[in-house]
Amino acid sequence: MRSEPILRMTGRGRTMLLTFDDGPHPEYTPKILDTLAKYEVRATFFVCGEMADYNRDLLTRMADEGHVVGNHTWSHPLLTKLTRRRIRSEMERTSEVVEQAYGEAPRWFRAPYGAWNRAAFQLGSELGMEPLAWTVDTLDWTTPGTGTIVDRVEEGAAPGVVVLSHDAGGDRSQSVRALRRYLPELLDSGYHLTVPRRRLI
C-alpha cells in the first residue's frame, strides 16, 4: 500500500496526463469531451459521486470515447476531518455509481483538496484503487483568466507530468477555452496525451 500519492507518470517520450476534477457537469464536461474528441485525445476525469449520479450519460460517453474515470469521493469533503467509516462511504458510493454508468469500477482515486491521510490510502487500496495526485496545478478554479491557465499548462509541460484542471465546481468556461488553446499546441510540440496505466511511480 502506498503512503503517498503518485505525482507523475513514467514511460518513454513526451507523455503527459490531462486530468479534470469535480464533475461531470452538464454544461462544461460535454464541451471538454468535444475538444478531446476533436484531437483524438483521452483524459482522466476524477468524478464526484453526487455529480456522476445526476449525469450518468456523461460517464457512459467517457467510457465510449476511451477516457478514464477516477473516484473523487461522493461530496468532495476534506478527508482528513472524517472518520474512517465516512471516508469509506464517500469512496464506496462513488465507485458504485461509476461502475454502473461507466461499466467498470474506478482504478484511480484523488483526495479532494489533495488532502491525503493513511485511512484514505488504505481504503482506496482495499477498493482496488491507486492514488493519483498531480504535478502541474492550473489553479483554474480561481478563474485566473484563460490565458493564465494556458500559460501554466505550457510552462509546466514536461515528460510525465499530470495536469490538474476542473470541469465543475463553478464557472469553468475559462477551463474549456484554455483546453481549446493549449491542447493543439501541446500536440504540435510533440506531446502524447494519454491516460494512466498501472506502471506509474
Catalytic residues, by residue number, are 21, 166
- Asked if omega into 131 is within 30° of 0 (cis), the reply is no
Strand segments, DSSP code E, in the chain are 15-21, 44-47, 68-71, 108-109, 130-131, 136-137, 162-166, 192-194
16 touches 157 (CB < 8 A): yes
Q: How far is CA 152 from CA 108, 143, 162, in A?
A: 24, 13, 12
Give the DSSP letter of residue 94: H
DSSP SS3 for 179: helix
Integer Cα distance of 92 and 85 in angstroms: 10
C-alpha cell at 68: 478514464
Q: How far is CA 151 from CA 101, 137, 144, 178, 183, in A?
A: 35, 11, 11, 9, 12
